[in-house]
Amino acid sequence: MCPPGYAGQTLSVFNWSTYIADNTIPDFEAACGVTVEYSIFESNEAMLARIRQGNPGYDIVVPSGNTIGLMIESDLLIPLNKDLIPNLTNVTPELLNPPYDPDNLYSIPYQWGTIGIGYNKEKVGEITSWEQMWNYDGKVAWLDDRRAVFGIALNLLGYDPNTTNPDEINAARDYLIERGGNVVAIAADDGQVLLERGDVDMTIEYSGDILALMFECECDTYGYLIPEEGTNIWVDNMAIPVDAPNPELAMVFMDYILHPQVGADISNYTAYGSPNQPAIDNGLIDEALLSDPAIYPSQEILAKLFFSNPVGGDAEQLYNNAWDEMLIFLGQ
């Protein structure tokens, strides 16, 4: 799974936490005779801020879709040489050619999923809707993902989740402020930890983080909900930042990740959706995961989901300002 000529080289990967199988990196190191330096980030904003300050040496980053768009707009990514990534043909066609990167010139899907509600069934009971979270008489956490959370509010208000209208963005801010009285934490991709610890009874969180908690506990305590009103669907992507020390090896790594068994190992570990169609078609994904509608939703549910798409620098700043104002009102 590795072409010759890379032995002795080093690859630096900057990825989300708990987002790769235990054997993925060691197997690549062994196959190519290379060393991988692996670092983690907890939010798109943190990763983007690091790269904007000047790439400290990362070869691979794994941003979400709208962040990919921002990085392309800011000339922070280099174009891919697809001759080095023949396994690109394994990606599910519906996940190719996204609005944030037409023709996948800069990025390749890594994992995908939804943002919904993780909850303690024993404390909350069964739920179906965002309204039950807003109105819950107990402690909740919201995810530190401003575009996703604002997109949920905009969608509930009947607006485009990717609006650039300042009045609509501010209306979403006010909507969230009015419904944030039970918020005790803005979770930096660790809402599942707060839930397991009992710090909160409900949390807005990435699907795989809650599903992993559900599988690990081997209990019926926790649930994950895609609310009936709809929510955010996202794709995280592998990309190469400008000034990457070893971009060619980075593309070899991308091709390795797109091998069906490697992709299946990652999705079986993370409990997120696999973008690797042969991994799905050949039964390499655990059946318990593949049959779970919280991971692979029905067409009816998919029709209610929306992406966070790039909105341009000026509108992005409007979202950032509105988010900061919301945090002040919520005391976070």
Listed by start position, the domains of the chain span 10-112+235-295, 113-233+301-330
- The whole-number pLDDT of residue 94 equals 86
Q: CA triplet 90, 273, 51: central angle to 5 degrees? A: 85
265: tokens are: 């190992």
pLDDT at 269: 93
**329 pLDDT more than 80:** yes
Pairing of strands 140-143, 202-206: parallel
When pLDDT is cut at 50, 70 and 90, the band that residue 45 belongs to is confident
Confidence of residue 137 (pLDDT cuts 50, 70, 90): very high
Question: What are all long-range contacts of 160-168, with beta carbons under 8 Å and residues at least 24 apart?
Answer: 161/232, 161/306, 161/308, 162/306, 162/307, 162/308, 162/309, 162/311, 163/311, 164/311, 164/312, 164/314, 164/315, 164/318, 166/318
Average pLDDT over the chain, rounded to an integer: 94
Model confidence band, residue 208 (pLDDT cutoffs 50, 70, 90)? confident
Query: Tens digit of pLDDT for each residue in 98-128?
Result: 888 999 999 999 999 999 999 999 999 999 9
Asked if 10-112+235-295 and 113-233+301-330 have one fold, the answer is yes
How far is the C-alpha of 29 from the C-alpha of 6, rounded, in Å?
10
Strand partners, 256: none
- The whole-number average pLDDT for the span 184-213 is 93
Provide the CATH number for the domain formed by 10-112+235-295 in this structure: 3.40.190.10
Distance CA 59, CA 37 (A): 10
- Summarize the confidence of residues 157-168 as an average pLDDT: 97
Domain covering 113-233+301-330 in this structure, CATH number: 3.40.190.10
For 205-234, the three-class secondary structure string (H helix, E strand, C coil) is EEHHHHHHHHHHHCCCCEEEECCCCCCEEE
More confident site: 73 or 175: 175
Do 243 and 97 contact (CB within 8 A), yes or no?
no
pLDDT attached to residue 308: 85
Number of alpha carbons in the 13 Å side-chain half-sphere of residue 274: 32
**pLDDT of amino acid 135:** 97
pTM higher than the cut 0.85: no
Question: What pLDDT shows up at residue 186?
Answer: 96
- Which among 174, 196, 200 has a CA at the least distance from the CA of 186? 200
Residue 249 carries which side chain, given as an amino acid letter? L
- Is residue 13 pLDDT above 90, yes or no? yes
Which distant-in-sequence residues (6+ apart) come within 8 Å of 80 by Cβ?
Answer: 104, 105, 106, 107, 108, 240, 251, 254
Structure confidence at residue 66 (pLDDT):
84
